[in-house]
Amino acid sequence: MRSTSDVPNHVDWLSQWMALHRITLWGAADLRNFSTPQDETGQGFAVAIAWAIPMTPQIMVGIRNGPNQAYADEYSRVNERINTVSVALAVEIQTRGYRAKPLAASDRTDPVDIKGEFSHKLAATRAGLGWVGRHCQLVTRPFGSWIRLGTVFTDMTLPCGPPIERDFCGRCTRCVEACPAKALTGNAWYPGLPREEILDAYACDKWKKEHYFHYHEGHNCAICAAVCPYGTRALKNSESTGGK
């Protein structure tokens, strides 16, 4: 990582770049103690830029009894936007003389363990965007868990975090009660907690493939996210401002 003397310039142009792309919730994560994807030379990355793109609240509130075509279309639209932004940001960073690698949205590279190359949620919690709820999804203050996440790895020096290291779900278990697969344990998250302590990923995946295969071959459900009270607040804020 380079001298901290150039941090303000990076923050300035990056803030402007994010605003230009209408991204309001983003931050940088210190990943020096984590194994990250490598570039073409075999080097990992010390930093990740993480951001959230909100889903349309009116669509999210409509899937409390199960996904529908509107949600499947929204899922595709937001993922496509994330991938477009990720590639554009990586190119912008590279033109400034730094290494960068985008992480694809919702790309299941390990079908056996049902996970991707790196956890978007890990980068997001380390960047201070939110915490992992009892539904094993990231929860943010502005949008709840009605979001999709983007991540770009880099060696560019940026002020990171502070990471969020506890959950703010209180005693709420609405997501646990709503899960049709009974895949959620109800345990509260903390950094380093194994995924299986929160989610039975195999039970979740099996239910989605059996009941919702017609939506992206069983990749869509989100009932647990749809019932989250933090998301409901996002809907109320949207309605009060006349937005989506």
| pLDDT band, very low/low/confident/very high, at 234 (cuts 50, 70, 90) | confident
The pTM (predicted TM-score) of the whole model is 0.91
Alpha-carbon distance values, 213 to 67, 204, 208 (Å): 11, 13, 6
Is residue 1 pLDDT above 50, yes or no?
Answer: no
Measure the CA–CA gap between 188 and 232, rounded to whole angstroms: 20
Condensed to tens digits (0 to 9), the pLDDT of residues 147-186 reads: 999 999 999 999 999 999 999 999 999 999 999 999 999 9
Condensed to tens digits (0 to 9), the pLDDT of residues 108-147 reads: 777 767 788 999 999 999 999 999 999 999 999 999 999 9
What the block records as the tokens of 214 is 């017609």
Condensed to tens digits (0 to 9), the pLDDT of residues 19-31 reads: 999 999 999 999 9
In one-letter notation, the amino acid at residue 144 is G
Q: What is the mean pLDDT of the chain?
A: 92
Condensed to tens digits (0 to 9), the pLDDT of residues 135-144 reads: 999 999 999 9
Q: 238: closest CA among 84, 56, 1?
A: 56
Mean of pLDDT values over 230-244: 70
Would strands 100-103 and 47-54 be described as parallel, antiparallel, or unpaired? unpaired
Is residue 87 pLDDT above 90, yes or no?
Answer: yes
Please report, for the chain, the start and end positions of each structural domain, with discontinuous segments joined by +. Answer: 4-235
Q: Over the chain, what HEC string results?
A: CCCHHHHHHHHHHHHHHHHHCCCCEEEEEECCCCCCCCCCCCCCCCEEEEEEEECCHHHHHHHCCCCCHHHHHHHHHHHHHHHHHHHHHHHHHHHCCCCEEEECCCCCCECCCCECCCCHHHHHHHCCCCEECCCCCEEECCCECCEEEEEEEECCCCCCCCCCCCCCCCCCCHHHHHCCCCCECCCCCCCCCCHHHCECHHHHHHHHHHHCCCCHHHCCCCHHHHCCHHHHHHHHHHHHHCCC
